[in-house]
Structure formats: C-alpha cells, structure tokens
Chain A
C-alpha cells in the first residue's frame, strides 16, 4: 500500500535554511508534491517534481528526490517568519490525479 511519512516538527531561526524530509513507499508514483498550509487556510501548491528527476529549484525552494531510497526533501533557503506553516508531502498513484498526503511537518521560524 501507499504511505507517506514526514517528521512532525521543525524549528529554525530566521535566515537559516530549513530542510523538510519525506519518505514514500509507492515507487510507481508519478509526481511528488510539496504543499503549504498556513493557519486557517487551505493548501497551496509550492512545487512538484516528476519522478524521473533528481532535483528541482524554484527561487528559494530546492526539491531533492532520491528514488532509490524513496526519499524526498524540501529545502527552503533564507527562511523567513512568513514561512512558518505546515508543509505536506504528497504523491499521486499512477493513472490517477488524486493525492496521498503525509501527516505534515510544522515549520516554526523564530526571529
């Protein structure tokens, strides 16, 4: 079966880099995603990576994919207090467009 796991909490200081990790079990996943949820808000797609890629960079965000270890990470450079939120890793099973989410990592950025 499919399962996505994340650490629950990460605390960093403003200006530092944050790295949020995720492991998944469905090796046939097509796309892997990172979503952000701010308090009282819905989910916002941050970035995604196709399963045949190793890395994707988008401004302050870097996604690394290790397909052999089924490990996905999101690095946020120069983390700001506005980055404080819950970050969800998600995958799509092949042939579907539905999302399987991890439990989310709460990122707390202190000044």
Chain B
C-alpha cells in the first residue's frame, strides 16, 4: 500500500458525459501528479500540482482539467468524454517538486461506452 488513495476504482460512463476522479496523496506529500495509461498511448503524464498550484503540464486535453484543494487532495475532471478516453488514470504523490520518489495510487479504470 503506497498510501495514495484513488476513488472510484472503476467508472463506466457514456460518451459525452463528465466524470470526476479523486486522489488523496500520502500524508505530508505536497505534489500530486496525474497520469493516463492506455493501450495505444502507454503511460503519459497529464498534469502536476504542488501545494494547490499547477506546476507542470503534459499531454492533457483541453476537455480535461484538474485542481488541488487546500487539504491537498486532487480531482481530475474529464468532460465531453470520448471512447478514446477509456484508460487507467493514476495519481501519484511526492514530497516536493524535486526528484523525490513518486508514490502511485492503484488507479481508476474509466470505461467510456
């Protein structure tokens, strides 16, 4: 158990819908990262937050957004969902913004039908 929790574990929704994925980092970690794992694209970095502020942005679509709240949990919002958004979404956390070890959550499996 990495100490990072993600909810829900599984999510099935229809095209065009909007979902919110939630992540709680390890106690004491200020950075949260979101990654998407799909069969065709592999594991890709989406976005990073540090202490409530966006820190780095990767291959995140404009339909997707994220935020980190004062209690340091983070939410990833996916809207206007398409079939191709079906993937495993991982959250990871680390102490700071440097090269600290990232601890990964178990992931949320999103299926868009």
Residues 23-59 of B contacting A (Cβ, < 8 Å): 31, 33, 35, 42-45, 48, 56, 58
Q: Contact: A104 with B42, CB < 8 Å?
A: yes
Q: How far is the CA of A99 from the CA of B43 in the complex (A)?
A: 9
Chain B: interface residue total (CB-CB under 8 A): 27
Q: Contact: A92 with B99, CB < 8 Å?
A: yes
B79 on interface, CB distance cutoff 8 Å: no
Q: Contact: B99 with A99, CB < 8 Å?
A: no
A24 on interface, CB distance cutoff 8 Å: no
Q: Contact: A42 with B107, CB < 8 Å?
A: yes
Q: Contact: A97 with B99, CB < 8 Å?
A: yes
Q: Contact: B45 with A100, CB < 8 Å?
A: yes
Size band of the interface chain A makes with B? 10 to 19
Q: Given A96-B56, A97-B97, A98-B33, verify A44-B45 contact (CB < 8 Å).
A: no
A62 on interface, CB distance cutoff 8 Å: no
- Chain A: which residue is nearest B45 at the CB level? A98
Note all chain A residues with C-beta closer than 8 A to B105: 42
B7 on interface, CB distance cutoff 8 Å: no
